[in-house]
Chain A
Amino acid sequence: MKIPYFPGCTLKTTAKNFEISAIASAKKIGIDFIELDRWNCCGVVSSLTSDDLMKHLAPVRNFLRVQEMNKQGIVENENRMVTLCSMCYNTLSLSNKRMKENADDLQKVNDFMHREEENYKGDVDVVHFLSILDEYGFDKLAQKVTKPLKDLKVASYYGCTLLRPKSVGIDDTEDPKILENFVKALGADAIDWDAKSRCCGSYHTVNNVDIVYRLVQGIVDDAKKNGADAIITSCPLCAFNLDVRQSEIKDKNPDYQTLPIYYFTQLMGLALEIDKQDLGLEFNKIEPEKLLKKLNLLS
């Protein structure tokens, strides 16, 4: 199956490990990510005001590329556009929803993009890779696993943008299960915990890092209290805060016990035995290999 793929800016820089592990893992189960030609930044956060239509232009322009891919036969009748980054997923989905539900807004945005060959018709669907896996079937995914992640206790961290607001959330806002089902399919243990959808402090990491330290410590402490060996995420900003900011907490308090942070696709790649270099573990800040080697999951 070939599917148009929107990477987003961070997947090409600090979250390279997310991209390479996802593409290699998807390939293993017969899903080819075809990167959009000329994609542009989605804007990271969605504009929440009623008037600011200009800020929806960047997300919508990407949908034209999906239309073109279908027209050129690069993909066949595939109106879905897959994302890996949770924040891109959220921002693109909210803009798309606004265009689909408001013909006037869609017209204005199309008028503004008059130099594009076509208008956006409003029929692209933004989907997160986890939803693609859910549709593929976690039972089927479990059958593809060649190295079950036995005895690995994983805390599934959803953060905000995969679940909220409800109109674009991929699962129940208060009691999501999709990541836990994924973890079980890989043969690992999905721990139950409270902080799975608590905000990590997001972009405050730029100019108010103390908020992030407090929230990250709360999230990691809750994972540890519930017996987790590691935390997984699908958001490069959550990953930065949980990984890099957590390691800074450790720098300040040497006795602090850190937990390794992985992208969910890195564990998927491990269980599907993709090439080690495609796991991109060298990009993870908190030492990622020690735990995996201890459990004989990595040589």
Chain B
Amino acid sequence: MAIKVKFKDKNDDFYKKIVELSGEQVALCDQCGTCSGGCPFIEEMDINPSEIMRKVMLGQKEVMDSRTMWICASCFTCTVRCPRELDVSKVSEALRQVKLRTAIDEISIADISKEEAKKLPTIAVVGNFRKFTG
């Protein structure tokens, strides 16, 4: 039996925004769970990547409250395995950007201790700030 999935009208803009930013047709996701199955960060996530896809598909803006998009490190393991060839890493990036573009950063320099700052390589700090600040 065919099931019709309808986007909530009031949230339609949110879905469109994520599709536009990520360039991915999130509604094509089959919910097979391959992305969640192979994700090396799954233990730290509160919602699975496949659930993120589902919530975006349904325009559920509450997905922004999840920590998952911040835990995703763009390792592209899901991306190379998705049978629908969807780039799930890009969807995570789009979600992060929606938040960061409201000028709310996820990290501030003050959060890093002086001792750690001395130890950390440039590549770690620049990479981190590129993902966690707007």
Once bound together, how far apart are the Cα atoms of A256 and B120, in whole Å?
Answer: 23
User: Contacts of B41 on A, CB cut-off 8 Å?
Assistant: 199, 211
Check if A2 is an interface residue, CB within 8 A of chain B: no
Check if B43 is an interface residue, CB within 8 A of chain A: yes
Task: Check B73–A204 contact: CB distance below 8 A.
Answer: yes
Which A residue's beta carbon lies closest to that of B132? A207
Check if B34 is an interface residue, CB within 8 A of chain A: no
Task: Check B121–A207 contact: CB distance below 8 A.
Answer: no
Check if B111 is an interface residue, CB within 8 A of chain A: yes
Check if B75 is an interface residue, CB within 8 A of chain A: yes
Task: Check A48–B22 contact: CB distance below 8 A.
Answer: yes
Q: Restricting to A8-23, which residues have a CB under 8 Å from any CB of B?
A: 8-10, 13-15
Task: Check B73–A202 contact: CB distance below 8 A.
Answer: yes
Most chain A CB within a 10 A radius of its CB, from B75, B93, B112: B75
Interface residues of A, CB < 8 Å — how many? Answer: 45
Once bound together, how far apart are the Cα atoms of A244 and B97, in whole Å?
Answer: 31
Q: Bits for A38-66, please: 1 = Cβ < 8 Å to B, else 0.
A: 00010111011111100100000000000
Contact segment of A74-82, A113-121, A140-148, A160-168: A160-168
Task: Check A9–B119 contact: CB distance below 8 A.
Answer: no
Label chain B's interface by main secondary structure. helix
Q: Restricting to A145-202, which residues have a CB under 8 Å from any CB of B?
A: 160, 163-166, 169, 173-174, 197-199, 201-202
Check if A203 is an interface residue, CB within 8 A of chain B: yes
Check if B114 is an interface residue, CB within 8 A of chain A: no
**CB within 8 Å: A-B pair count:** 125
Task: Check B43–A203 contact: CB distance below 8 A.
Answer: no
User: Contacts of A51 on B, CB cut-off 8 Å?
Assistant: 20-21
Which A residue's beta carbon lies closest to that of B116? A206
User: Contacts of A205 on B, CB cut-off 8 Å?
Assistant: 120, 124, 128
Task: Check A49–B93 contact: CB distance below 8 A.
Answer: yes
Task: Check B79–A50 contact: CB distance below 8 A.
Answer: no
Task: Check A203–B127 contact: CB distance below 8 A.
Answer: yes
Task: Check A198–B126 contact: CB distance below 8 A.
Answer: no
Most chain B CB within a 10 A radius of its CB, from A45, A48, A208, A215: A48
Check if A87 is an interface residue, CB within 8 A of chain B: yes
Given A10-B122, A13-B121, A205-B120, decide whether A199 and B40 contact each other with a Cβ distance below 8 A: yes
Interface residues, chain B, with chain A CB atoms under 8 Å away: 20-23, 40-41, 43-44, 71, 73-77, 79-80, 87, 89-90, 93-94, 97, 107, 111-112, 116, 119-128, 130-132
Interface residues, chain A, with chain B CB atoms under 8 Å away: 8-10, 13-15, 41, 43-45, 47-52, 55, 85, 87, 160, 163-166, 169, 173-174, 197-199, 201-208, 211, 214-215, 236-237, 240, 244
Query: When A and B form their complex, which 5 residue pairs have the shortest distance between CB atoms, in order from nearest?
Result: A164-B76, A48-B93, A203-B127, A199-B75, A203-B128
Q: List 30 A-B contacts (CB under 8 A).
A: A9-B123, A15-B121, A43-B126, A44-B123, A44-B126, A44-B127, A45-B130, A48-B87, A48-B90, A49-B97, A51-B21, A85-B123, A87-B127, A160-B76, A164-B76, A165-B89, A199-B75, A203-B124, A203-B128, A203-B131, A204-B71, A206-B120, A206-B125, A206-B128, A207-B112, A208-B44, A211-B41, A240-B120, A240-B121, A244-B119
